[in-house]
Amino acid sequence: MNVHTPHPDLPPPATSVGVIGWMRKNLFSSPINSLLTLASLYLLFKYVPPVIRWALLDANWLGSTRDACTNDGACWVFIKVRFLQFMFGFYPPDQYWRVVTAFTIFGVLIAWLLIDKTPKKGWVAAFTILVYPFIAFILFYGGMGLPVVPTHKWGGLMLTLILATIGMFFALPFGIILALGRRSALPIPKMLSVMFIELWRGVPLITVLFMSSVMLPLFMPEDFRIDKLVRALIGISLFQSAYMAEVIRGGLQALPKGQQEAANALGLSYWQSMFLIILPQALKTVIPGIVNTFIELFKDTTLVLIIGLMDLLAIIQAAFTDTKWLGFSVEGYVFAGLIYWIFCFSMSQYSQHLERKLHTGHKR
Amino acid sequence: MTETKITPASQGNDIAIEVKGMHKWYGEFHVLKDINLTIKRGERIIICGPSGCGKSTLIRCLNRLEEHQRGEIWVDGIELDDNLKHIEKIRKDIGMVFQQFNLFPHLTVLENCCLAPIWVLKKPRREAEETAMQYLERVKIPDQADKYPGQLSGGQQQRVAIARSLCMNPSIMLFDEPTSALDPEMIKEVLDVMVDLANEGMTMLCVTHEMGFAKTVADRVIFMDSGEIIEENDPESFFSNPQSDRTKLFLSQIL
Amino acid sequence: MSSHESSRHSAWWNNARYRALIFQALLICAVAGFFAYIGSNTIHNLEQRGITTGFAFLKQKAGFGITQHLIPYTENSTYGRTFVVGLLNTLLVSALGIVFATILGFIVGVARLSSNWLVSKLAGFYIETFRNLPLLLQIFFWYFAVLRALPSPRQSLHLGNSFFLNIRGVYLPRPIFEPGFGLVTAAIALAIVGSYLLYRWAKKRQEETGEQFPVFLTSTAMILFLPVIAYFIAGKPLQWEYPELHGFNFRGGITVIPELAALLVALSVYTASLIAEIVRSGILSVSHGQTEAAYALGLRPGKTLRLVIIPQAMRVIIPQMTSQYLNLVKNSSLATAIGYPDLVAVFAGTTLNQAGQAIEIIAMTMGVYLSISLLISMFMNWYNARSQLKER
């Protein structure tokens, strides 16, 4: 019997690994590729340094008046000076702590629900849905001893986040109902759901906002005044729920039929099987889709500018008209872009991470 | 499984495949080490070994689905290197059957078989279809010619995959674990087709765990572990008298 | 008591069919009641405010100008005409946007899949930048930051004497077709028909003899050269009207107002980033084993792409692309924010403000988008049904 002595592991040939090997394979593997690499490098070297110079090296960071912006570069002083307004809109500065508190609590609740290993998710979810809205309302608006801050003072990033979150908050349950309705075996709920979903998905958000701005007051009894923000929220929630419904429907369809059959066999009623078996599984698989819908909603909140609400983009846009700070629109847009980009990119990375974890991506 | 022994390969000196001092790395990982292999025309070779030993990688190097970094591979007297013309010629003469079948789902069974003859061998459609029907009859599913792969069972799909490769008239066939993805009751129908092929003198290299098939059909069994060829022998000697301790360990685990 | 009897005596309200019927009846009542409530409020409120109903307002005079109208329009035109002008403007920017976005999106999507690391990363950078920024922000950026920074007409950026770019817009030469141009049109039509016939002939030839013919190259040559030859034979029947600077402004040629330019660029660049992702994920969705099987059969990379990969990828790509096209049409409504006179800006904006009949106007506007959306849905359903991979 031979005892086998294994062949030693050798290092690979030099030209196929290391920096040289990597460059040969990835940058210069063919004549066309080499040409493309050189062209790309040329473009990068031509256009990237001026941008860096404008944004960082030649930019003005210090100071508090327009005179501080002397260089050719970006005037970040403009952003610095109006930063709080961009964040909180016209909210009274001495009440900022209420906004920060409300958002912090919300952040903690959401993190608790999304992180895998945290316990007692059921209680936290119930708290978030049933108790937190009242806390948030009191903190943002007022009452219970806190002075009232009317909604037309709300603005900036705060308003953007409120619009997106509340829109989502109502869209989720309503979307679930619509999705269930669309998959129903009964003709009436199915028809109503389909009509509702296709209506809101087929029209631009602008027309929905116009509709809720202009037509809602007509729908209500004469003396019933609806706050402008509430009108926008109703429009956004209706619109978003239709997209939500489609995402959730995808999750319900992907669930094996055997789950419903097992629930029926155990004697569970329709609603029991929905709440205990079907929905928990379906929702879990479409969390990436829900996050993606949220990202779209987050970007769509910018449209409220057109009906006169002062979200982040609107308030930055308005700042351009300040006679003391004319001509810095590029800085403003870059700043707005940065904030939106950071939010959207982080959320999309999270969604992709979830997709990988839940194996809903494609196998090679 | 038939008990009669298949006639041994012809004693011609025609060498189908020759591998000399071949090494392959995935990045830093040395996956194939100093492979030396000579396969004569008409030989039926079985390659076995534990998971991850590189046996699939080895046969995939033979038709350039993977590239080797050191050593030489010669097929039909042509060297397998970066030369596209060489690769083309070699691929026309080697047929490959995959574990996952890899049939083209958007084409019918007949179209699957005709695609390469029409576009690579430049045959007229009628000729390609005739050849395809002949081979579909040989694998015993001529009636499925107009169905789509999704409508067939696993065993049927794999037999179509074999027919598809045969339509190119290769002289060498490579099998990469052809039955590993099949339900047990379908394994026999595929193995029967492979035994028929072996009977007709096709040069075959087969990576498989089906040791019964190896005993019936193989001229030589090669055992690999950790990227090296540990042992090769004719089936009787290989199974009854393994030379290396590694081989013995492997056989004790699977038999 | 037998089980048969007891089931007859069980409560009718537990019977599944009855429950379903009652539930649906209640649902209809609730929905109808809801609409009735809204309806009565609305009628009451409209009366209170003295707003008329009906579509008679469409025949009234509009009394305002529109900066871009593809059909004749003056301040004396009717409100109904503003609807058509706005609709045409929407269709114009949507159609152009779809074309540009598709071309750009495919290029970036393929670049993203390139084996060249640098090209792939740059394409990825493009995709991640533009799809994570709100479209409205991008429109504002192009309109307020970029186009406003352009020079005045007297110092326009220009390409020779034909193309001018300044703060008032983009100026292009306008083609003037003279009588002989019909020959060129005929040549183009001939080339297209010829290409199709060539394709059919080459396919038949291949089926019968197996020989392949370079159809693509020949057709392209035909479509390029035949019209050119016809052009010269007909004595160059094409004149150009160039934009010329008169005083402070340009006259003649084709004017592209900055609002259209900014909206078009923003829509195209944004939608292209989404299309690029769709193209990439579509091609990646085809399992690698397909490529390997094709290579093992001796097919070259080009043929493999054409015959095996792309047909399968298209099944995934086309539904998502038509979705994006629909989104682009809907997104064109953001024109309101920068004053491009699209349907929403002109009809649901100015006309609504003046005529006051919100319900009819918004309903008509939504109706247009809904129709486009339903058309596209119908197409998608048809395409999906046709391209289903047959399974057991």
* C61 bridge partner residues: C78
pLDDT at residue B11 in the model: 46
Highest mean pLDDT among A18-32, A117-131, A263-277, B30-44: B30-44
pLDDT at residue B24 in the model: 94
Q: Average of pLDDT values for A255-280?
A: 85
CA A342 – CA B184 distance, rounded (Å)? 53
For residue C202, count other CB atoms closer than 10 A to its CB: 18
Amino acid (one-letter) located at A84: L
Report helix angle C79-112 to C358-386, nearest 10: 40
pLDDT digits (tens, 9 = 90+) for C285-310: 899 999 999 999 999 988 999 999 99
CA C354 – CA C62 distance, rounded (Å)? 8
Mean of per-residue pLDDT scores for chain C: 88
pLDDT digits (tens, 9 = 90+) for A139-185: 999 888 888 888 889 999 999 999 999 999 999 999 999 999 998 88
pLDDT at residue B2 in the model: 43
pLDDT digits (tens, 9 = 90+) for C103-129: 999 999 999 998 889 999 999 999 999
Alpha helices in chain A (DSSP H): 18-26, 31-52, 76-88, 96-114, 121-126, 132-140, 156-182, 187-202, 205-210, 216-219, 228-254, 257-265, 270-273, 279-285, 287-300, 312-319, 329-357
Highest mean pLDDT among C50-64, C140-154, C173-187, C255-269: C255-269
pLDDT at residue C159 in the model: 84
Q: Average of pLDDT values for C261-279?
A: 95
pLDDT band at residue A120 using 50, 70 and 90 as cut-offs: confident
Percent of chain C with pLDDT over 70: 96
pLDDT at residue A322 in the model: 83
Residues 6+ apart with CB under 8 A from A332: A78, A79, A316, A317, A319, A320
pLDDT at residue B99 in the model: 94
R_g of chain C computed on alpha carbons: 29
Q: What residues of chain B have any CB closer than 8 angstroms to a CB in chain C?
A: 63-65, 88, 91-92, 94-96, 98, 100, 102-106, 115-116, 118-128, 147-148, 150-152, 161, 164-165, 168
Q: Which of C31, C128, C288 lies nearest to residue A192, judging by beta carbons?
A: C31
pLDDT digits (tens, 9 = 90+) for C186-201: 888 999 999 999 999 9
Looking at the complex, does the CB of residue B228 fall below 8 Å from at least one CB of chain A?
yes
Instruction: Find, in chain A, the residue whose alpha carbon is nearest to that of B242.
Output: A1
Decide if B139 contacts B164 (C-beta within 8 A): no
CA nearest to A202, candidates C323, C84, C357, C91: C323
Contact pairs from chain B to chain C, CB under 8 Å: 94
CA B42 – CA B14 distance, rounded (Å)? 9
CB contact under 8 A, B28 and A3: no
Percent of chain B with pLDDT over 90: 78
Q: What is the residue-wise DSSP string for A7-18?
A: PPPPPPPGGGSH
- Better-predicted residue by pLDDT, A256 or C1: A256
* Residue C149 DSSP label: G
Q: Cα distance from C212 to chain B (closest Cα, Å)? A: 7
pLDDT digits (tens, 9 = 90+) for C200-213: 999 999 888 888 88
Burial class of residue C199 (count of CB atoms within 10 Å of its CB; 0-12, 13-18, 19+): middle
Q: Average of pLDDT values for A130-143?
A: 89
End-to-end CA distance of chain A: 42
pLDDT at residue A192 in the model: 93
Q: Average of pLDDT values for A126-138?
A: 89
Three-class SS of residue A113?
helix
pLDDT digits (tens, 9 = 90+) for C227-247: 888 888 888 878 888 888 888
Amino acid (one-letter) located at A346: S
pLDDT band at residue C147 using 50, 70 and 90 as cut-offs: confident
CA B179 – CA B158 distance, rounded (Å)? 8
* Residue C234 DSSP label: T
What residues in B contact A4, CB-CB < 8 Å? 225, 230, 244-246
- Better-predicted residue by pLDDT, A356 or C332: C332
CA nearest to C313, candidates C279, C337, C290, C338: C279
Does residue A362 register a pLDDT over 50?
Answer: no
Q: Which of B88, B102, B106 lies nearest to residue C289, judging by beta carbons?
A: B102
Least confident of A10-14, B117-121, B187-191: A10-14
- Better-predicted residue by pLDDT, C272 or C377: C272
pLDDT at residue C269 in the model: 97
CA nearest to B28, candidates B61, B59, B69: B69
pLDDT band at residue A364 using 50, 70 and 90 as cut-offs: very low
pLDDT at residue A359 in the model: 67
What residues in C contact A40, CB-CB < 8 Å? 118-119, 122
Q: Average of pLDDT values for A209-234?
A: 87
Three-class SS of residue C132?
coil
pLDDT band at residue C9 using 50, 70 and 90 as cut-offs: low
Least confident of B158-172, C9-23, C33-47: C9-23
Q: Which of A1, A7, A11 lies nearest to residue B228, judging by beta carbons?
A: A7
Instruction: Find, in chain A, the residue whose alpha carbon is nearest to that of C146.
Output: A330
Mean of per-residue pLDDT scores for chain B: 90
Provide the CB-side half-sphere exposure for C137 (13 A, CA): 28
pLDDT band at residue A241 using 50, 70 and 90 as cut-offs: very high
pLDDT digits (tens, 9 = 90+) for B99-123: 999 999 999 999 999 999 999 999 9
Q: Cα distance from C373 to chain A (closest Cα, Å)? A: 5
Does residue C384 register a pLDDT over 70?
Answer: yes
The torsion defined by the Cα of C225, C227, C228 and C233, in degrees rounded to 10, comes to 120
For residue C216, count other CB atoms closer than 10 A to its CB: 12
What residues in C contact B57, CB-CB < 8 Å? none
CA A317 – CA A322 distance, rounded (Å)? 10
Does residue A67 register a pLDDT over 90?
Answer: no
pLDDT at residue C45 in the model: 85
Q: Which of C23, C116, C377 lies nearest to residue A36, judging by beta carbons?
A: C116
Least confident of A10-24, A190-204, A251-265, A319-333: A10-24
pLDDT at residue B10 in the model: 45
Looking at the complex, does the CB of residue A362 fall below 8 Å from at least one CB of chain C?
yes
* A75 bridge partner residues: A60
Q: Which of A219, A329, A362 lies nearest to residue C145, judging by beta carbons?
A: A329
Q: Which of A207, A317, A340 lies nearest to residue C140, judging by beta carbons?
A: A317
Looking at the complex, does the CB of residue C378 fall below 8 Å from at least one CB of chain A?
no
CB contact under 8 A, B104 and C300: no
What residues in C contact A329, CB-CB < 8 Å? 144-145, 148
pLDDT digits (tens, 9 = 90+) for B65-83: 999 999 999 999 999 988 8
CA nearest to B95, candidates B70, B72, B121: B121
pLDDT at residue A356 in the model: 84
Looking at the complex, does the CB of residue A17 fall below 8 Å from at least one CB of chain B?
yes
CA C333 – CA A210 distance, rounded (Å)? 12
Does residue A200 register a pLDDT over 90?
Answer: yes
CA nearest to B175, candidates B217, B139, B207: B207
Looking at the complex, does the CB of residue A333 fall below 8 Å from at least one CB of chain C?
yes
Residues 6+ apart with CB under 8 A from B63: B90, B91, B94, B96, B174, C295, C296
Q: Average of pLDDT values for A294-303?
A: 94
pLDDT digits (tens, 9 = 90+) for C315-350: 889 888 998 999 999 999 999 999 999 999 999 999
Residue from A3, A4, A5, A24 whose CB has the most chain B CBs within 10 Å, to mutate: A4
pLDDT band at residue B177 using 50, 70 and 90 as cut-offs: very high
CB contact under 8 A, B116 and C295: no
Instruction: Find, in chain C, the residue whose alpha carbon is nearest to that of A34.
Output: C116
What residues in C contact B98, CB-CB < 8 Å? 289, 292-293, 296
For residue C7, count other CB atoms closer than 10 A to its CB: 9
Largest CA distance in chain A: 100
Six-digit token string for C157: 């950026």
List the beta strands (DSSP E) in chain C.
157-159, 163-166, 169-172, 174-177, 238-241, 244-246, 249-251, 254-256
Looking at the complex, does the CB of residue A30 fall below 8 Å from at least one CB of chain B?
no
Residue from A23, A28, A188 whose CB has the most chain C CBs within 10 Å, to mutate: A188
The interface residues of chain B toward chain A in range 16-35, judged by CB-CB distance below 8 A, are: 23, 25, 27-28, 30, 33-34
pLDDT band at residue A255 using 50, 70 and 90 as cut-offs: confident
Q: Which of A41, A302, A330 lies nearest to residue C137, judging by beta carbons?
A: A302
Does residue A6 register a pLDDT over 60?
Answer: yes
Q: Cα distance from C109 to chain B (closest Cα, Å)? A: 23
Q: Which of B69, B70, B244 lies nearest to residue A4, judging by beta carbons?
A: B244
pLDDT at residue C13 in the model: 65
CA A347 – CA A292 distance, rounded (Å)? 8
Q: Average of pLDDT values for A206-230?
A: 87
* Residue A75 DSSP label: B
The interface residues of chain A toward chain C in range 198-227, judged by CB-CB distance below 8 A, are: 198-199, 201-207, 210-211, 214-215, 217-222
What residues in B contact A29, CB-CB < 8 Å? none
pLDDT at residue B13 in the model: 62
CB contact under 8 A, B118 and C307: no
pLDDT at residue A165 in the model: 92
- Secondary structure (H, E, C), chain B: CCCCCCCCCCCCCCEEEEEEEEEEEECCEEEEEEEEEEEECCCEEEEECCCCCCHHHHHHHHCCCCCCCEEEEEECCEECCCCHHHHHHHHHHEEEECCCCCCCCCCCHHHHHHHHHHHCCCCCHHHHHHHHHHHHHHCCCHHHCCCCHHHCCHHHHHHHHHHHHHCCCCCEEEEECCCCCCCHHHHHHHHHHHHHHHHCCCEEEEECCCHHHHHHHCCEEEEEECCEEEEEECHHHHHHCCCEHHHHHHHHHHC
pLDDT at residue B21 in the model: 94
CB contact under 8 A, C336 and A206: yes
Residue from A191, A218, A320 whose CB has the most chain C CBs within 10 Å, to mutate: A218
Q: Average of pLDDT values for C85-108?
A: 95
What residues in C contact B124, CB-CB < 8 Å? 206-210
Element (H, E) at C308: none
pLDDT at residue A1 in the model: 66
CA C134 – CA C149 distance, rounded (Å)? 22
Decide if A253 contacts A245 (C-beta within 8 A): no
pLDDT at residue B8 in the model: 47
Does residue B34 register a pLDDT over 50?
Answer: yes
Burial class of residue A80 (count of CB atoms within 10 Å of its CB; 0-12, 13-18, 19+): middle
Burial class of residue A303 (count of CB atoms within 10 Å of its CB; 0-12, 13-18, 19+): buried
CA A207 – CA C363 distance, rounded (Å)? 9
pLDDT at residue C1 in the model: 45
Q: Average of pLDDT values for B172-193?
A: 93
pLDDT at residue C391 in the model: 66
CA C392 – CA B72 distance, rounded (Å)? 46
pLDDT at residue B175 in the model: 96
What residues in B contact A13, CB-CB < 8 Å? 25, 69-70
CB contact under 8 A, C116 and A33: yes
pLDDT at residue C273 in the model: 96
- The angle at the Cα of C166, spanning C160 to C170, to the nearest 5 degrees, equals 75
CA C23 – CA C32 distance, rounded (Å)? 14
pLDDT at residue C10 in the model: 61
CB contact under 8 A, A16 and B246: no
pLDDT band at residue C2 using 50, 70 and 90 as cut-offs: very low
Decide if B228 contacts B218 (C-beta within 8 A): no
Residue identified by tokens 């590694």 is B246
CB contact under 8 A, A207 and C41: no
CB contact under 8 A, B91 and C389: no
Q: Cα distance from C385 to chain A (closest Cα, Å)? A: 18
Decide if A163 contacts A209 (C-beta within 8 A): no
Instruction: Find, in chain C, the residue whose alpha carbon is nearest to that of A316.
Output: C137
